[in-house]
Structures are given as C-alpha cells and as structure tokens.
Structure 1
Amino acid sequence: MTYTLSQISKTLNLDFNGNDIEIDGIHTLAEASSSQLSFFNDAKYAFQLPKTKAGAVLIDSEHAKLLPVSTIALITDEPYLKLAYASKLFAHTLSTVSEAPKMGSDCDIDESVRFGSGVVLGENVTILAGCYLGDHVSVGSNTILHPNVTLYHGTKIGRNCIIHSGTVIGCDGYGFAHTKQGEHVKIYQNGNVVVEDDVEIGANCTVDRAVFGSTVIRRGTKLDNLIQIAHNCDIGEHTLCAAQVGLAGSTKLGRNVVMGGQSATAGHLEVGDFSTIAGKGGVTKSLEGGKTYAGFPAVEIKVWRKMQAALMRLVKNR
C-alpha cells in the first residue's frame, strides 16, 4: 500500500511544506528509508534526527530543525498518537480467502489445515490437525507444526523447526497511544516474526509480530511451554528459556542466554551473551554477558545470596 504524503497529512489533520512524495510504510528513525514515514517522541533519540533517511517525520516544532533537508517535517504536539492513526493505513487487510500452498516434495498436511494466500512450504513439512497459516507465511523444510498452531500473516519459519500445540506466532504486539482524554488508540503492528533454523517452541507460547521490522528468534533457540515473547524482541542463537518466561518489547538477548522459569525482562534492554537469569529473576536494566543473575531487580547471584543471608540474619535477630 502506497499513499501520497498529502493523503496521509489529510488523514492526520496536519499540514506540511515540501514535495508530495509517496510513502509505502512506517519505520524507526534509524531504519526508515526515503519512501517511509517515521516519528519522534523521545528526546533520548534526538541524536538520530540529523542522520535519518525517512521521507517524512511526525515531530514537534522544537526538534524539527534537527532533521536533514531531505526529510519533511509533519509538525504535531502528539507525534506518537498521530503514528497510531497512520499505522492503520498500512495494516494488513484480513481475508477469509484460502489458497493451496506452494509446497515441496513429501509434505504431510492434515486435511483440516487452513491456508491463506501465498503460503510457501519447503520439503518434508508436517502440519497436523487444526493449524492455520495466514497470508504469505513460509515454512522451511523438515519443520513440524503440531495440532492447532497458528501462524499469522507474514510469519517466516526456518528449517528443522518444531512448534508445539496451541502456540501462536505473529499475533499483534501490545501497543497503544493515548489521547489527552485517556483513551487508548491501537498502534497497528505491521511487522512480522522470523524464526530461524533448528528452533523448538513449546506448547501455548505466544510470539508477537513487530510494530515494524521483525521479531526474531535466532538459530538453535529452544523455548519451553507458556512463554511470551513481545514485539520487536531479538532472541540470540542457542538461547534456552524455561516455562513462563516473559520478555517485554524490544528486549535483545545475546547468544546462549539461559532464562529460568518465570524470569522476565523489562523492555528496551539487552542481556549479554552467555548470561544466566535464575528462576523468577526480574531484569530491569541491561546486563553484562557471561554472568549469572538472580532476584528482583536482578543482580549478580553472589550479591543476591549475600542479600538473602543478610535478610535472614535480620529476621532471626528480631
């Protein structure tokens, strides 16, 4: 879907000065191309403004002067709310149309499986009863989908993967902008999910699609049952997550991270390579790799043990 900037501006009740360029999507300041719209609503990203390649940016008047001359400013005091309204323009159109997938040899597909349009399957793919694969989903060779797996539109699954029953991949991330009256306006999640090769995902997990770009689960990662991966997370290669792990949006886990049962992260942080988060650990800031952490907020486990010992001494001495 492509719109002229004048069409978008009219929808958002905004004015602009500049060429009436065509816009084919929305992305971040750092990733947007000259045919995409972006937004600015957080001063900590001001350093990205002079370098953005976005065709146009939703931005307040104070920071608009920092944009390069090639980028058109759409002046608003509510850039995040306007982003929400704009995101609807580029949302995938849902349809009940079903088409036979393009598939490789030796696939075993239960007759109850339902496909959207443009689905592509590799060789020797097994899909059991009750699964749904939406528009433009791709599944690599030798992958198994157990009963009642749902892959929303645009999801890409690699080779040699196993996805267990009840798991949903590509559902909308939890994103809303808020009006001055306290109403919540949906930000349409127009990215996708990419699951690389040799990944196993347990039963009843949810992996949210990205707002824009991709939520990524990298090669060799193994997820237990009942895990929530929020939008725009990036899960490093060969990571292990035990049951009921929860990752907030834009969390980045390095390679070979281990997360114990019921551990979780806040959003927009990084956990370094070869880190371990003990069960029920709560990660509230980015953590250095190669160490083991525990507690809430998560600290190095030797510190956490000392804290627990000190607390017990206080209790005993009351």
Structure 2
Amino acid sequence: MEFRLSELAARLGLTLRGDDCVVTGVGTLESAGPDDITFLADAKYAALLDTTRAAAVVVDEAHAAGVGRALVSANPYMDFARILFLFTPAQGCLEGTGVHERAFVHPGAEVDPTADIYPFAFVADGAKIGPRTRVFPGCYVGEGCVIGEDCTLYPNVSLMAGTVLGNRVMIHPGAVLGADGFGYVPTDDGRQKIPQVGRVVVEDDVEIGANTAIDRAMLDRTVIGHGTKIDNLVQIAHNCILGEHCTIVSQVGIAGSTKVGRGVIMAGQAGVADHVTIGNDAIIGPQCGVRTDVEEGRRMGGHPAMDYGTYMRNMSLAPKIPDLFKRVKALEKELAALVTKRTGEDNE
C-alpha cells in the first residue's frame, strides 16, 4: 500500500511542507525507514527529529521547520491515527462473499445480502444481521439477536439469545455478551438460580475487547452506551447501565445494577460494588475499590475509594510509616520513663 504525501495532505486537510514523495509504510521516530511516515506528538521527543530516517513526519507548526518533509497538523497524534487507518488492511479474506457454505444460518434468520458470514459461524432462528456486517469463524449468534450495520464480530464471539447490537459495533475475539447474570437465592439446600430473562443492548460505535463478558439483565436490560470503549478481560454484570463515551480499561469488574454516567473512565483492575451510581466524567483510578456512589467529575483512587488527592498523599506517606513507627516507639519509651520518674518524685 502506498500514498503520495500530497494525497495524504489532501485527504486529511493538512499542509505539506517540503517536496512530495511516496510513502509505503508507517513507524515510530526511531523505527521508521526511508519509505515510512511517522509523527511527533510530544515535544519531549523532539530530539529524535534529528536522527529519524522517516520520509516524512506529522508534526505541529512549532516543529515543522526541523523536518525535511512535514505534514503540519494541529493534532499530530489524531491525524497520524487517521493515516494508520489508511495503511491498515481489513482483516478477513472472504469480504464480499456473503454467507459461506460452511456457515450455519437457520432458515428463520435474516441476513442482509451484503453481510459476510464466515465458515463455522452459527446464526440461530430469529436472528437479524444488518448490511456489511462481518461474522468471523466460530461465532455464535443466538436466537432473536439483532445486529446492525457495519458491525464486526471477530472469531469466537458469542452473542446469547436476544442480544442487540447497534451500528458499527466491533467485538474482539472470545467476548461473550448475554450470558446469564450471577443471580442466586440462598436456600436450605444451597443457592437456587434466579432465571435471567433480560438482555444486553449495545448502542452504536461501541468497541468491546477480547474475552470481555457482559451479562444479560435479570428482567430488563444491561446497556452499553453509544461510543463506549471497553478493553480486554472486563466483567460487566447484569442490569448495569453504562453511559455514552465511557472508557473501561482491562480487568475492570462492575457488579450488578450499577449505573455509570457519561464519559466515565475506569482504569485497570478497578472494581465497583453493586447498586452504585457513578456520575458523569468521573475517573476511577487503577485498582480502585468503589463501594459507594461517586459524584460527577470526581477523581477517585485507593481501596476503599477516596478522593484522588487524598489517595496520592497517603501513597507518598506510606514509605515513611516504618520510620514513623520507630520514632513513636522511642517517644513512648521516653514518655514512660518520664512518667515513672514523676511518679517516684510524687511519692517522696
């Protein structure tokens, strides 16, 4: 795949500085070769502009003069990401072939003629698959599932019965949507299962990482809001509601019936208790344990969760605790000696 710099500039609305040339690949400032294009997004790496072998660099105006060929951008990181899309070939070799003869599609399912169903995928009765959607090998699309336009289900994705996907949803390998929520009633004979008869609804432009699990609701819906991005190995329990444009990082666990507002960020391994409400634009730090509601815009850290500033002060003080303990013990001994001396003087 190759592009002229002038073509990239025209496509992305950027300014080309220097002579035109053809680029055939992408790379970092350090790894790029003479036929590659790279980028500078952080000024602390500007010294690498003197040594990079790249044919061209996407840079801001302040650093353009230090580059032989530059695509000048107000946001180099974002515009380089757009270039990466141009250099990224679509995965899958059967695009445009429709339903493969080795896929199973139930006669009661509806598959748009422009959708691609790869070998060994299973599409159950009553399922509906929209235009240009791709279902890779090993996928399971259960009864009554609805999948919108331009969706991608990578290998071994499972959509259990009744799961609904909006448009442009991407689900990475091994993810499971619509498995039963973890609901049981304690009895004298052990825990009795509560039937989970709700469903999972995923809105438009959501991306879900590999081996993530999103459970169906007990009665109503588990909802993933528009534009939300979910990393690998995330667990979202039954009846959770996630708002629009959330970012949920790897190994986060969200317990049942939690409500997460718009634009919330949860860092790696954060955990949220059940029936908690997290306000819009809140940030939950790594390994943070959230037990109570979080107000809009708050930044939290620690276990249990506390204001992030308090958490960071605690962390900075933690290494001093052993020395502080020794000092307190020494002071206790001095105090005990003084008390003994004073008691002796009082008894004379």
Fold match, TM over 0.5?
A: yes
Q: 2:213 aligns with which of 200, 203, 206?
A: 206
Q: CA deviation at 1:152?
A: 0.3
Is the partner of 2:321 in helix, strand or coil?
Answer: helix
> For the residues of structure 1 that align with 2:213 and 2:198, how far apart are their CA atoms?
15
Aligned match of 1:115: 123
Q: CA deviation at 1:314?
A: 2.2
> For the residues of structure 2 that align with 1:265 and 1:148, how far apart are their CA atoms?
28
Write out aligned runs for 1:23-62 (5 A).
none
Aligned match of 1:142: 150
Q: 1:237 aligns with which of 240, 244, 248?
A: 244
> For the residues of structure 1 that align with 2:113 and 2:105, how far apart are their CA atoms?
24
Letter in 2 for 1:207: I
Letter in 1 for 2:321: L
Aligned match of 1:274: 281
Q: CA deviation at 1:103?
A: 2.2
Decide whether the 8 Å contact of 1:114 with 1:131 is kept in 2: yes
Asked whether 1:194 is paired with 2:201, we answer: yes
Q: CA deviation at 1:311?
A: 3.1
Q: CA deviation at 1:98?
A: 3.7
The TM-score, its normalising length taken from structure 2, stands at: 0.62
Asked whether 1:169 is paired with 2:177, we answer: yes
Asked whether 1:104 is paired with 2:112, we answer: yes
Letter in 2 for 1:285: T
Runs of at least 4 residues of structure 1 off by over 6 A? none
Decide whether the 8 Å contact of 1:99 with 1:115 is kept in 2: no
Q: CA deviation at 1:133?
A: 0.5
> For the residues of structure 1 that align with 2:263 and 2:113, how far apart are their CA atoms?
34
Is the partner of 1:169 in helix, strand or coil?
Answer: strand
1:115-171 deviations in whole A, cap 9, x for unaligned? 111011111010110101110000000000000000000000110010000000000
Aligned match of 2:309: 302
Is the partner of 2:200 in helix, strand or coil?
Answer: strand
Asked whether 1:311 is paired with 2:318, we answer: yes
> For the residues of structure 1 that align with 2:213 and 2:220, how far apart are their CA atoms?
18
Aligned match of 1:125: 133
Is the partner of 2:205 in helix, strand or coil?
Answer: coil
Is the partner of 2:223 in helix, strand or coil?
Answer: strand
Identity of aligned residues (%): 40
> For the residues of structure 2 that align with 1:149 and 1:99, how far apart are their CA atoms?
21
Q: CA deviation at 1:97?
A: 10
> For the residues of structure 1 that align with 2:109 and 2:120, how far apart are their CA atoms?
14
More RCO (CA 8 Å, sep 6+): 1
Q: CA deviation at 1:291?
A: 1.9
> For the residues of structure 2 that align with 1:263 and 1:316, how far apart are their CA atoms?
31
Q: CA deviation at 1:112?
A: 1.1
Q: 1:218 aligns with which of 215, 221, 225?
A: 225
Q: State the structure with more CA Rg.
A: 2
> For the residues of structure 1 that align with 2:236 and 2:213, how far apart are their CA atoms?
6
Letter in 2 for 1:162: M
Decide whether the 8 Å contact of 1:193 with 1:207 is kept in 2: yes
Is the partner of 1:215 in helix, strand or coil?
Answer: strand
> For the residues of structure 2 that align with 1:182 and 1:314, how far apart are their CA atoms?
48
Q: 1:252 aligns with which of 238, 242, 259?
A: 259
> For the residues of structure 1 that align with 2:240 and 2:265, how far apart are their CA atoms?
16
Decide whether the 8 Å contact of 2:112 with 2:129 is kept in 1: yes
Aligned match of 1:291: 298
Letter in 1 for 2:184: F
Letter in 2 for 1:133: V
Letter in 2 for 1:138: V
Is the partner of 1:170 in helix, strand or coil?
Answer: strand
Q: 1:228 aligns with which of 220, 225, 235?
A: 235
Q: CA deviation at 1:310?
A: 3.3
Is the partner of 2:168 in helix, strand or coil?
Answer: coil
1:37-67 deviations in whole A, cap 9, x for unaligned? xxxxxxxxxxxxxxxxxxxxxxxxxxxxxxx
Is the partner of 1:297 in helix, strand or coil?
Answer: coil
Relative to its length, the structure with more helix (as a share) is 2
**Structure 1 gap ranges (5+):** 1-95
Decide whether the 8 Å contact of 2:121 with 2:135 is kept in 1: yes
Decide whether the 8 Å contact of 1:100 with 1:115 is kept in 2: no
The TM-score, its normalising length taken from structure 1, stands at: 0.68
Aligned match of 1:50: none
Greater Cα offset, 113-122 or 167-176: 113-122
Q: CA deviation at 1:182?
A: 5.2
